[in-house]
Amino acid sequence: MITIVSAVLTSKLPSHNASLAGLHTFGIDCKASLLFTVKQQDDLQVLQELLRQYPTFLILGGGSNILFTKDYPGLIVLNRIKGISAQPDPDNDRFVLLTAAGGEVWHDVVLYAVQKGWGGLENLSLIPGTVGAAPIQNIGAYGVELKDVFHHLEALDLETGELHTFDKANCMFGYRNSIFKHELAGKYLITSVTLRLDTRPELRLSYGAIQDTLDAMGITEPNIADVSQAVISIRQSKLPDPAELGNAGSFFKNPEISRKHYEQLQMEYPDIPGYPGSAADLVKVPAGWLIETCGWKGRRTGNTGAHSKQALVLVNYGNATGIEIWEHAQRIMRNIKERFEISLTPEVNVI
């Protein structure tokens, strides 16, 4: 039965019983009771009316960090607001403030900045998803996190309809974390993000294989475009394309453990890698190494498994259900806990 929402919505009714298969990168065949796309300012007013009638809702960007284990019994809101603009930083003319709407594709914004010669985003090339989702997760890669270039964002209060501004301190950024995943989860729709980019970029090449890749490319004096291309090449060599093999990138966060625990593990596993954690007494251990050491890399169970080139990536080999993938993830988590006394935490949002 199709519900009549209200006369004011007659031109912009949501879709009912809508397929989500093409709207998230795992590509699982599931449905939402209702689906509404926000493309412009007027749609925000329509959204307010919908939310008064349908209190169960989920905001979806590029769907690159989510695992649906069942049909969604409420309203899915797609953020597709577009637009990019820039202006000089009034506090320091070396920098530029780039503002991107929440529905822009993240990688498109990175390429825009790279083409302009504005540094800060090049290490974050090819991360899937939208701009509006980036602060929620505090996305990061190759030694850089969003918070490093973040200036402020604007977000719609879904209860009051007011537009609020959040600076870096307000967002309470952490490792793959922010206030929008906790106290303010589901309370705001991020309409735009403003980034502070450097017109005289300082390159960050020490993390991962960036320098080795540049060397292999024959580049001795790289610029930000070179770094961006190196990162793209690395990611494409290690991570499966969601269009060909459903996945959500890194499924787990890299865990942090005490230095004492790490030193104990080193006695049994001398090659265990470790990096500085968020505090002096913490060490960050690559989850991919833990998973691979336990023999999960490339191991397939039914329609899912850990990818053959990157153990941190769980994939949908075709026709996998969300429950099947989640159960596989839980098996890995139990194994890591039993062997290393380390608890893995999903980076992907499981719905």
Mention every residue, 6+ apart, whose C-beta is less than 8 A from residue 305: 296, 298, 299, 314, 315, 317, 328
Q: Is 268 in the active site? A: no
User: Counting runs of H as helices and runs of E as strands, what totals does the chain give?
Assistant: 9, 20
Catalytic choice (104, 145, 256, 347): 347
Q: What are phi and psi of 9, to 5 degrees?
A: -105, 10
Catalytic choice (64, 104, 250, 256): 250
What residues does 195 pair with on adjacent strands?
Answer: 98, 150
Helix H or strand E segment including 171 = helix 168-171
**Are 251 and 304 a contacting pair, CB within 8 Å?**
no
Report d(CA 32, CA 30) in Å as an integer: 7
**Are 342 and 290 a contacting pair, CB within 8 Å?**
yes
Q: Is 237 in the active site? A: no
Report d(CA 79, CA 57) in Å as an integer: 13
Nearest to 135 by CA among 94, 79, 91, 55: 79
**CA Rg, the chain, in Å?**
21
**Distances from the Cα of 316 to the Cα of 48, 226, 288, 330, angstroms:** 35, 32, 18, 16
Q: What are phi and psi of 310, to 5 degrees?
A: -150, 105
- Token look-up 């577009």 returns 82
Helix H or strand E segment including 229 = helix 224-238
Q: Is 250 in the active site? A: yes
Catalytic choice (33, 80, 176, 235): 176
Q: Is 139 exposed, middle or buried (0-12, 13-18, 19+ CB in 10 A)?
A: buried
Report d(CA 237, CA 108) in Å as an integer: 20
Which residues are part of the catalytic machinery? 176, 250, 347
